[in-house]
Amino acid sequence: MNALRVLYLVSPSASFAGIERVVHEVADALAKNFDDLDVHVGYCSSYDEPAIDAAAYTAHILNVPRLLQMPVPVRRLIKSGRYDVVVVPQVEATVMTWLGTRGVSVGALVCHLHGNPLVEERDGTVRTRLAFVAWRRLLRSQISAVYTVSESLARKVRTVIPDQVTVTNLPNPVRDLHGEPRPPEDPFRFVCVARLSYQKGQDVLLRAFAMARTRLPNARLDLVGTGPQEQELRDLANDLDLNDSVEFSGFVKNPTEKLSGAGCFVLASRWEGFGVALVEALQFGLPLVATDCDFGPSDIITDGVVGDLVPPEDPVALAEALVAAANRDWVPEDAVRRAARAREYSPAAVAGHHREALFSTFERSGLRRAPAPSAAVVGAHEGST
């Protein structure tokens, strides 16, 4: 029997970062580990990213600048590719894919939720809210399954969608940064790798760090990332008299240098979907301090060795957790255990869960395997990166 043909679709974006990198890691691990899968990724945007060129899957660059322009190119790709399962991250892109494939055999259509759909709908534009209305209607008959990136998100989604829709939690694969646990450097350094945005809560973190500094006068905080709130956060750091102890390091593709030798990783998010950066920090044996927000951190931080959880938007509780983390003795065995926890999310470790879900979704759909496309059709897309 022919391999199951799977297509992942990535909507237009400015950078190869969160969802883009996760989809790449999933698809690459599946293509490398399983001969019974024929894995493709359709990127709406073109990225200067060597990892795509070296990937084991087949990449298709659609050159779609805007989400609303997805339907026609996606229709063309799906019609010619004859896929058995099509996985689309996020609600709006799933709706655009459905619109573009009316009258075309699309296989089993899956919506893969990577963020917090409750917040996305609540704070979204009119277009976003309309997409959620359409998505709920599609769930009744047009969408075969919903995948999530954390178990806490899966539990919540099951309470707000029709019972007949299967919701499957699939752990995110996290790239290997080849981290080695090592004692923290002096002075003690907290690090946060995240987009500088309201969601990630760096404003709360700065206020908490200012409180903690009264007991940790030599501590440092490294904010790694860029984003729409950068100037506001710089102004806040200045107002809190933190200019000598907070570094704004900008965006880095690989945070290894920033994580190596740090004392603690901090994520003060107001909401999440998973928290890839938390797992990357664990590779270096770093203890974590994170907010117990919806969704993701509580799935990763499951005991006090891995880290501590504090309420969202509570700088006082966060400051106490920072002080406790800095004053805690470094225990090599604990660092090794944290690194082992990170390996549970390696691409090779999670690929089997994704494969099982894809086959299960297709079998439940009741569809028949699509015939493989002709060599001429395949050649029209392969190597388009």
Give the model's pLDDT for residue 367.
87
Question: In sequence order, what are the residues at sequence separation of 6 or more whose Cβ sits closer than 8 angstroms to the Cβ of residue 78?
Answer: 7, 86, 97, 100, 101, 104, 106
Same domain? 272 vs 355 = no
Tally: H helices and E strands in the chain: 16, 13
Q: Number of folded domains in the chain?
A: 2
Q: Is residue 55, in this structure, part of any structural domain at all?
A: yes
Give the model's pLDDT for residue 140.
87
Helix or strand run (H / E) with residue 281: helix 276-282
Domain of residue 121 covers 4-173+347-379
Same domain? 24 vs 124 = yes
Q: Is residue 180, in this structure, part of any structural domain at all?
A: no
Q: Is residue 284, in this structure, part of any structural domain at all?
A: yes
Max Cα-Cα span within the chain? 69
Same domain? 330 vs 352 = no
Give the model's pLDDT for residue 1.
67
Q: Is residue 292, in this structure, part of any structural domain at all?
A: yes
Same domain? 226 vs 299 = yes
Q: Is residue 125, in this structure, part of any structural domain at all?
A: yes
Question: In sequence order, what are the residues at sequence separation of 6 or more whose Cβ sits closer than 8 angstroms to the Cβ of residue 100?
Answer: 70, 71, 72, 73, 74, 75, 78
Give the model's pLDDT for residue 369.
84
Question: In sequence order, what are the residues at sequence separation of 6 or more whose Cβ sits closer than 8 angstroms to the Cβ of residue 367?
Answer: 84, 107, 108
Instruction: Report the CATH number that the domain containing residue 54 is assigned in CATH.
Output: 3.40.50.2000
Q: Is residue 179, in this structure, part of any structural domain at all?
A: no
Can you give the length of the chain in residues? 385
Q: Is residue 184, in this structure, part of any structural domain at all?
A: no
Give the model's pLDDT for residue 383.
41
> Strand (E) positions, 226-271?
246-250, 264-267
> Strand (E) positions, 164-240?
166-169, 189-193, 220-224
Same domain? 36 vs 129 = yes
Same domain? 263 vs 142 = no
- Rounded distance between C-alpha atoms, residue 195 and residue 355, angstroms: 31
Burial per residue of 88-127, b for 16 or more beta-carbon CB atoms within 10 angstroms, e otherwise: bbbbbbbbbbbbbbeeeebbbbbbbbbbbbbbbeeebeee
Same domain? 41 vs 147 = yes
Same domain? 152 vs 82 = yes
Give the model's pLDDT for residue 374.
59
Q: What is the pLDDT along the chain (385 residues), one digit of tens a residue?
A: 689 999 999 999 999 988 999 999 999 999 999 999 999 999 999 999 999 999 999 999 999 999 999 999 999 999 999 999 999 999 999 999 999 999 999 999 999 999 899 999 999 999 999 999 999 999 989 999 999 999 999 999 999 898 889 999 999 999 999 999 999 999 999 999 999 999 999 999 999 999 999 999 999 999 999 999 999 999 999 999 999 999 999 999 899 999 999 999 999 999 999 999 999 999 999 999 999 999 999 999 999 999 999 999 999 999 999 999 999 999 999 999 999 999 999 999 999 999 999 999 999 998 888 777 754 444 334 444 3
Same domain? 333 vs 359 = no
Same domain? 139 vs 123 = yes
Q: Is residue 182, in this structure, part of any structural domain at all?
A: no
Same domain? 278 vs 364 = no
Bridge partners, residue 331, by sequence: none
Give the CA-trace dihedral at 230, 43, 109, 111, to 10 degrees: -10
Peptide bond into 187 cis (omega under 30): yes
Give the model's pLDDT for residue 371.
75
Same domain? 199 vs 253 = yes
